Amino acid sequence: MKPAPFEYYAPTSVEEALATLQSLGYDGKVLAGGQSLIPAMNFRMARPAALVDLNKVKELFYIKPTSDGGLAIGTMTRDSVVEKDPLVSERFPIVPYVVKHIAHPQIRNRGTFGGAIAHADPAAQIPALSVALQARFLVRKQGGERWVNAEDFFMGPFMTVLEPEEMLAEVVLPPMAKGSGASYQQVSRQKGGYAQAAVISVVVVDENKRCKDVRVVLFSVGETPILSQTARKILVGNVPTAEAIAEVAEKISKDEVDPGTDIHGTAEYRRHLVKVLVRRGLTEAFERAK
Amino acid sequence: MKKVSFALNGIVQHWEVADGETLLASLRREGYFGVKFGGCEKGECGACTVLLDGKPVNSCSLLTVQVEGCHVQTIEGMGEHPDQGWKKTAGLHPIQQALVESGAIQCGYCTPAFALAAKALLEKNPNPSEEEVREAIAGILCRCTGYLKPVQAILKAASILRGEVDEQDWIEDTGVPLPVDWPSGADQSPAPAGDFGSPEKLVLTRRKVFMPRMFITPEVRQKTLSRVGKPELKVDAIKLVQGKPAFAADMEKRGMLIAKVLHSPVAHARIKHIDLSKARALPGVAAVLCYKDIPRVVYSTAGQSDPIPGPLDTFSLDSKVRFVGDRVAFVAAETEEIAEQALNLIEVEYEPLPAILDARDAMKPNAPIIHDEPEYVNFGESNPQRNLAAQIHIDIGDVEKGFEEADRIYEAEYVVPKVQQAHIEPHVVVTYWDEDDRLVIRTSTQVPFHVRRILAPVLGLPVKRIRVIKPRIGGGFGGKQEVLIEDVAAHLTIATGRPVLYEYTREEEFIAARSRHPMRIRMKTGVKMDGTITANEMRVLSDTGAYGCHGLTVTGNTGHKSMALYVGDGPYRKSPNIRFYADVVYTNTPPAGAYRGYGVPQGFWPVERHMERISRDLGLDPIAFRLKNAIREGELHPFSTAWSEGREPRPEIIQTVGLEECVRQGKAVIGWDQKFGNPEWHVVAGKPYLRRGIGVALVMQGTAIPYLDMGGASIKMNDDGSFNLLVGATDLGTGSDTVLAQMAAEVLGVPVDDIIVYSSDTDFTPFDKGAYASSTTYISGAAVVKAAEDVAEKIKKRAARMIKEQHPSVQVSPEDILLEDRKAIAPGGEYVTLAQVALNALHHTDQEQIMGIGSYYSPVSPPPFAAQFAEVTVDVETGQITVDRLVMAVDSGVIVNPVTASGQIEGGMTQALGYAVCEEMVYDQYGRAREKDLVDYHIFRANEMPKLETVFVQTYEPSHPFGVKAVAEIPMDGVAPAVGNAVLDACGADVFENPITPERLWRALKEKQSVADHH
Ligand SMILES: Cc1cc2nc3c(=O)[nH]c(=O)nc-3n(C[C@H](O)[C@H](O)[C@H](O)COP(=O)(O)OP(=O)(O)OC[C@H]3O[C@@H](n4cnc5c(N)ncnc54)[C@H](O)[C@@H]3O)c2cc1C
């Protein structure tokens, strides 16, 4: 079915987009890849009064190296571009590996890196990835901007700190520290399905193989991506033994996740999956760490 | 409205569109019907794929205003028929050509999307790996092919585009070399041992078609046939690969209205009050109908022959609703949006009634009565007072005595789920009055003649004033063996006098279409220690949902096929002891109906899981145990004298059983002897949590319904010696038009493209019961052969006369004439061409239209047999199952077309794989569907597939002129139990309920662990 009627704006610059958003206030909605928004409008689950389409804003499509060894990704960069970009695989090999798990080529050819973050689907990969990689988001509005840490960005299912007149403009990934390793683990009914539970693990070890930092981010098992504190408490400063990893996995699955029972699985099963996936993920990440 | 300028297939367009219109809607409105509507409008099926600046995207999730300044490509810009009279074109694109030649096109609904995705891939990556091809098409769902042939086609196109093959080589028909066969003979090894089944090693014929493996029995080898048995191209492939407007919705009609239905939000209620006035007052609304507006005629939606073997319990609209999704009102409006808005304006007050959502509650003493309407017409044992839609009691032999004679008795309960046909083309119909005031129903149906007969009383029209046209069908799988939505559009056309289009959305497919009957099945089997089955009993509780439609026949088939396979051995073989009891009950859930396999997959899950468990418990080889008890050639079908869907049962001897050969071939292909019982093979190095397993299931099906279903065909000769073949048979993507043409071509001695097939139109083609019960090749095929023989006889008579006139010295009688190479040839070599015969008949001498007609019904239903194998890897920590490989060795008699037939097997195995591991439909406590789209209801994608392999074991079925048996349904039967048995083999966990989801397996593993801890 056709979406409910709306005003359509196709700005060609960020300034113009921000001005439009400012003037529309609560009536305006950013259209990025449209892979979530247009279906929602087709079903009239979303009825924005006005759309501000960023697809003609050329300055939002980019992947740039930062001088410290990280990356700056323009919000409109398509998933399929991130997936295949050589610089991304060189600096953050975990990123294309995770992005490949998103739906399928048609969706990734349109869906955007920033759109997935702004959409804040609790079952989506990119929000969790941004938390695991300590991404920083550049949020802009007319006449102003602010930086938000990924950890502070997600408020609940499909809810973020973005105000209606604001736009996510850029995602900055700080460089992976020396001695880093990462792993992605998910279970879904079949390969292409949404994850029943998933975990992204990023670890850093020192020369003595001691854990310097560990970021375990779980998703599909709570309202937002969940960054584990337990993993840090138990592992940082220590050599990650199998027992310690098992203990972390056990504790996370008990105390830190809050899976619901839904169509994809019961809470009990998902808690169990968390335990298995955290164990496997940490083991693999530490193996890869160098 | 906005102006948009963009390039469409290289030509600049300036369109004026509403801001909110999706590119899918604009393109179809402008006549680009190659862009298909999959009903989802949210990017899940990929049928609407177009290329946007060279990249595949879903046009449903793109606004037309967004393509300003972009390049859009659709299938219409890709290639066309090379030969258009005096105009020659560049022809099809090599990708299209490869899709046609590889047998990648079945229903053809998703073919344009595949072609475009392939084009985008090959432009970027001219030498993709198979994995890359699978990834590139992963966003396009196909329910027919199992993806094997589309992937092969794209790889083949890549090699052509790289210039590796002389293009001519692909197109030229060099006559097809015989497929591989292995020597028969008991002691010869059928094939080299080990894993040799990779697709690279499949046989490539000179026309570069991937052929399935063949085992040919001596009876078949004796027949020399020139068209039957060959991988002829599908007769409809060229139009489908161009995305021609061949499907029901691919048409324009001036003033056509869009229909929508208000579906019940509650599971069981009476409509206390309904007010349509606001909806009717909405500008743009042409009609709103509720139960008060149309005649109350009781009928059954089951597309079956007369009399329908089931209760009459359905009304187009009723004052009672019986499931969430049941019909409340119909709307016709100028646009879809207005129709939707009108639905929101209908005011309904429901008086809720207690609902039955679990079949086990249906026959409890105080259960609510779902069918209390006085018009209800019983069939057989149906009893609406007890919510009983049908009941079956079959006792063969003396079952109690058999149990007494057993050494051991095995009992267990199994559960099978409700699943969806999920054809990619939704149900769709267009209705209109023609200039003779006859109602035309252009519908995506498997049963055009049943539609006409069943709807006539419902609409208040005589049969003669209805014409049903079946265009191309985008898949059916039984879902369209139902008169499901034709009445909606027809009532609205009658109400408004205008053409009406009604097209289901994907959500409607889930809440208001048909599905596979879910069942609970108790097995009880008596066995001697040596493995002889002494008695076998199956008790079924089958859930037909809110209406009875196919309840009796589907459930009857569950026993009739799955319980016929194991008759027992020794004395039991001569007089088997078999019991099959079933209650088919009503519940307040969407009705179940026909779905490929028609009850039999529900039977083989329990039977084959049970046999596996028994053989393991007795320490017997699972395959030897099965073969020891399985039915053999020359034996009586045990059910044939016991039950015939409520008609008089008559004995049927089974004449061909290729089961042992299927087992031998299948074992060799999958490498059974190297893997089964070999502990080393069962582990995965470096991954202690993974286990591998291998499993088997033996299965049988039927071919057509004996003494009932009839198919008709007529053949007419044209001036140039070509023929029109008119059949009522309904090709829903299966390739039946092609195999029927092959049979006609065989008899008439012409190439297949001299046969112009038309199916099916109730005004023009002879009657055919339609596409179901695995009957078309067998029944309609026999009818075609009869019609062709009729024509051949007339040709020969005239040809003999003509040859005599030309060669007065030659003595030739019609019986000696051979039809070959478009000629009628006398034994001495003198001949006339068929074109000469045609001109002679139509214009010159003793003028007549050479024409033939044939019809056929069968006294028997010869069963195809198969051995199905699965290899799995199980993650014992998460319960995740990866099915690595499926092998099916099948005795379907003579294979008329190895490419279309293997396509049937591959696609069937893929659907059955969903039944095995991921597909199910579940309802909440209010009876609301949990799965309403193809994201939550997961069907397999190209990049998730196991390796698929087919072996045809060709026996010669003497009851058919070319020795054929059915192909299409049997692949549904054995995959789930073979996977279940492989899972058991891998990790020792017994799962009694399919699909074996990760969570279900995890629970079974936990259970097994706790039992072990206990001991
Ligand atoms: C069939 C299907 C399967 C899918 N499977 C997966 C999956 O497995 N995993 C997964 O992660 N995702 C999945 N998705 C979702 C897909 O990845 C979405 O495209 C993505 O999450 C949203 O990105 P988008 O660019 O399309 O955003 P849009 O749909 O355009 O926008 C989404 C929301 O974000 C807002 N927004 C977007 N960009 C900005 C911005 N720059 N500033 C402020 N607000 C903004 C919009 O206003 C809107 O509310 C699937 C989608 C489909 C249709």
In a domain, B878, yes or no: no
Indicate the DSSP class of residue A62: -
Q: What gap in Å lies between CA B527 and CA B549, rounded to an integer?
A: 37
Query: Is residue B346 located within the same domain as residue B400?
Result: no
* Burial of B385 (C-beta count, 10 Å sphere; 0-12/13-18/19+): exposed
Query: Is residue B277 located within the same domain as residue B339?
Result: yes
Using the CB atoms, write b or e for B981-997: b if 16+ within 10 Å.
Answer: bbbbbbbbbbbbbbbbb
| CB of A194 sitting under 6 A from ligand 1 | yes
* Reported ipTM: 0.96
Q: What is the CATH number of the domain that holds B396?
A: 3.30.365.10
Ligand 1 mean position, distance from CA A116 (Å): 4
Query: Is residue B809 located within the same domain as residue B845?
Result: yes
The protein residue whose alpha carbon is closest to atom 20 in ligand 1 is A116
Chain A contact present for B372, CB below 8 A: no
Q: Which residues of B touch A191 (CB under 8 A)?
A: 941, 943-944
Give the pLDDT of residue B195: 31
* Residue that the structure tokens 């990023």 belong to: A202
In a domain, B453, yes or no: yes
Give the pLDDT of residue B208: 57
Give the pLDDT of residue B1003: 97
Rg over alpha carbons for chain A, rounded to the nearest Å, is: 19
- Number of residues written out for chain A: 290
Give the pLDDT of residue B224: 81
Of B55, B918, B936, the CB nearest to A190: B918
Partnered with residue A32 across adjacent β-strands are none
| CB of B44 sitting under 6 A from ligand 1 | yes
- Cβ distance B428 to B531 under 8 Å? no
Query: Is residue B776 located within the same domain as residue B814?
Result: yes
Ligand 1 mean position, distance from CA B43 (Å): 12
Distance from CA of A188 to the nearest CA of B (A): 8
Query: Is residue B537 located within the same domain as residue B468?
Result: no
Give the pLDDT of residue B183: 36
Q: Choose the residue to mutate in A6, A9, A14, A35 for probing ligand 1, maximizing ligand atoms within 8 Å of C-beta.
A: A35
Q: How far is CA B211 from the centre of its chain?
A: 21
Q: A-contacting residues of B 61-100, CB under 8 Å? A: 61-63, 65-66, 68
Q: Where are the alpha helices (DSSP H) in B718-779?
A: 736-748
| CB of A167 sitting under 6 A from ligand 1 | yes
Q: Where are the domains of chain A?
A: 7-53, 58-173, 180-289
Give the pLDDT of residue B647: 86
Q: CB A6 to CB B20 under 8 A?
A: yes
Q: Mean pLDDT, consecutive 10-residue segments, chain B of 1015 residues?
A: 96 96 96 95 95 98 97 97 92 95 96 98 97 97 97 93 64 34 36 33 47 84 87 95 97 96 98 98 98 98 96 98 98 97 98 98 97 97 98 97 98 98 98 98 98 98 98 97 98 98 98 98 98 98 98 97 98 97 98 98 98 98 98 96 88 96 95 97 96 98 92 97 97 95 98 96 96 91 98 98 95 96 96 98 97 96 97 97 97 95 97 97 96 94 96 95 96 98 97 96 94 82
Could you give the percent of chain B with pLDDT greater than 70? 96
Query: Is residue B607 located within the same domain as residue B715?
Result: no
Q: What gap in Å lies between CA B683 and CA B958, rounded to an integer?
A: 47
Domain formed by A58-173, architecture? 2-Layer Sandwich (3.30)
Give the pLDDT of residue B209: 65
Ligand 1 mean position, distance from CA B668 (Å): 48
Residue type, B583: D
Q: CB B25 to CB A2 under 8 A?
A: yes
Chain B contact present for A45, CB below 8 A: no
Query: Is residue B498 located within the same domain as residue B609?
Result: no
Kindly indicate whether the domain formed by A180-289 is annotated with CATH number 2.40.50.180. Answer: no
B152: helix, strand or coil: helix
| CB of A74 sitting under 6 A from ligand 1 | no
Partnered with residue B948 across adjacent β-strands are B886
Q: What is the pLDDT of residues A188-247, one digit of tens each?
A: 877 767 889 999 999 999 999 999 999 999 999 999 999 999 999 999 999 999 999 999
Here the tokens at position A49 are 């009064």
Chain A contact present for B124, CB below 8 A: no
Q: What is the pTM of this model?
A: 0.96
Distance from CA of A234 to the nearest CA of B (A): 24
Query: Is residue B554 located within the same domain as residue B425?
Result: no
Residue of A190, A269, A275 to mutate when probing chain B, most B C-beta within 10 A? A190
| CB of A40 sitting under 6 A from ligand 1 | no
**B793, B824, B857: which is the final residue of a domain?**
B857
Query: Is residue B507 located within the same domain as residue B537?
Result: no
- Cβ distance B562 to B630 under 8 Å? no
A103 CA closest ligand 1 atom index = 5
Residue type, B524: K
Chain A contact present for B21, CB below 8 A: yes
Query: Is residue B760 located within the same domain as residue B850?
Result: yes
Here the tokens at position B413 are 């309960």
Q: Which residues of B touch A271 (CB under 8 A)?
A: none
Chain A contact present for B998, CB below 8 A: yes
Q: What gap in Å lies between CA B771 and CA B444, rounded to an integer?
A: 12
Q: What gap in Å lies between CA B323 and CA B589, rounded to an integer?
A: 5
Domains identified in chain B, total number? 4
Q: What gap in Å lies between CA B280 and CA B345, rounded to an integer?
A: 9
Ligand 1 mean position, distance from CA A188 (Å): 19
Q: A-contacting residues of B 260-299, CB under 8 Å? A: none
| CB of A32 sitting under 6 A from ligand 1 | yes
Query: Is residue B631 located within the same domain as residue B607?
Result: yes
Here the tokens at position B38 are 């999959």
Query: Is residue B278 located within the same domain as residue B331?
Result: yes
In a domain, B128, yes or no: no
CB-hemisphere CA count at 13 Å for A164? 13
Of A105, A265, A277, the CB nearest to B139: A105
Q: Which residues of A touch B938 (CB under 8 A)?
A: 189-190, 192-193
CATH number for the domain running over A7-53:
3.30.43.10
In a domain, B805, yes or no: yes
> Residue B760, preceding bond cis, omega within 30 degrees?
yes
Which domain range does residue B69 map to? 2-77
**Contacts with B677 (C-beta within 8 Å, 6 or more apart), sequence order:** none
**Which helix (H) or strand (E) is B1007 found in, with range?**
helix B998-1014
Helix axes A267-288, A242-251, angle to 10 degrees: 150
Give the pLDDT of residue B201: 33
**B479, B497, B512: which is the final residue of a domain?**
B512
**B629, B654, B679: which is the final residue of a domain?**
B654
Give the pLDDT of residue B656: 96
* Chain A residue whose CA is closest to B922: A263
Give the pLDDT of residue B172: 32
Give the pLDDT of residue B1013: 85
Q: Which residues of A touch B1002 (CB under 8 A)?
A: 269, 272
Chain A / chain B CB contacts < 8 angstroms: 135
